[in-house]
Amino acid sequence: MTLPQSKASSTYIVKYMNYMGRAALVRSLLHLSGAQYKNVFVTSEEIALNRAEYPFGLVPILIETRPDGTTFELAEAMAIEQYLAEKLGFLGSTPEEAAVNKSVALNVYLEHYPYCFDSSPEKRRTFEENVLPRFLESHTRWLVKNGNNGHYFGEMVSYADLAMAHWIRLIDVLGYNINLDGWTKEQIQEGQEQHPLRKLEKVISELPEWQGQYDNFHPTSSIVP
């Protein structure tokens, strides 16, 4: 298992509120790559009063300062993630590898985001009974095809790996019962590392590059300045 060796020497600012939320994976990519970055915290009230300062009136915002002193600003969490994943080496080495990697990560987002934050009984039932089983089956198949080693592609930590690990943490905290191959919740807790999705979560959580800070990058975590 290896992390990509980034040649990027830019420095970065992540402008977002003082919790992980939609910036969790952005910050994870920067942290794991060893990139130099800092957080600039804004409040929802400040954003509402100064929406013209943000490309779409929303956060997160990435501000990159390049070695020649020029700056680059980018909005929208998924766009920022994909940009950093490519620049920092988490998308493979060819356009084809990058495209497939992005497709896996995008499926993680697009399959579940329309449902996860809708608490209506109908939406939850549709998600748990229809969307979630299909989603789990397809991603289990991807991971088994790669040898059930905790990665989607070879032995390299990829954007897809990090997107799935992030999603597993999010879906757990939202209270959904992730039914893995028909296991009961108790069985999942007793042998969670054996299922490919839980194995991926375990592999990612044990990366030494977290430097003991894995829990700090949980999507619900706040940041201590």
Domain ranges of the chain: 11-87, 95-217
- Note the CATH architecture for domain 11-87: 3-Layer(aba) Sandwich (3.40)
Exposure class string for 12-27: b at 16+ Cβ within 10 A, else e: bbbbbbeebbbbbbbb
For residue 34, is pLDDT > 60? Answer: yes
Among the ranges given (95-109, 177-191, 205-219), the one the predictor scored with the smallest mean pLDDT? 177-191
pLDDT of 186 higher than 90: no
In this prediction, residue 151 carries a pLDDT of: 96
Neighbours of 112 (CB within 10 A): 19
DSSP symbol at 156: B
Alpha carbon of 75 to those of 51, 71, 88, 98: distances in Å?
Answer: 13, 14, 18, 20
Q: Higher pLDDT residue, 15 or 133?
A: 15
Q: Is the pLDDT of residue 178 over 70?
A: no
pLDDT at 185: 47
Identify the pLDDT of residue 191.
46
Range 139-153 average pLDDT: 92
**170 in helix, strand or coil?**
helix
Domain 95-217 has CATH 1.10.3470: no
Split at pLDDT 50, 70, 90, the class of 217 is: very high
CB 1 within 8 A of CB 152: no
| Mean pLDDT estimate for the chain | 87
119 pLDDT higher than 80:
no
Q: Is the pLDDT of residue 188 over 50?
A: no
| Range list of β-strands (E), the chain | 11-16, 36-41, 61-65, 71-75
Tokens 């800070």 -> residue: 213
Say whether 70 sits in a helix, a strand or coil: coil
pLDDT level of residue 24 (50, 70, 90 thresholds) = very high
The pLDDT assigned to 224 comes to 63
The DSSP bridge partners found for residue 62 are 14, 74
Percent of the chain at pLDDT above 70?
88
pLDDT of residue 183: 46
> What residues have CB less than 8 Å from 151, skipping those under 6 apart?
1, 143, 157, 158, 161, 200, 203
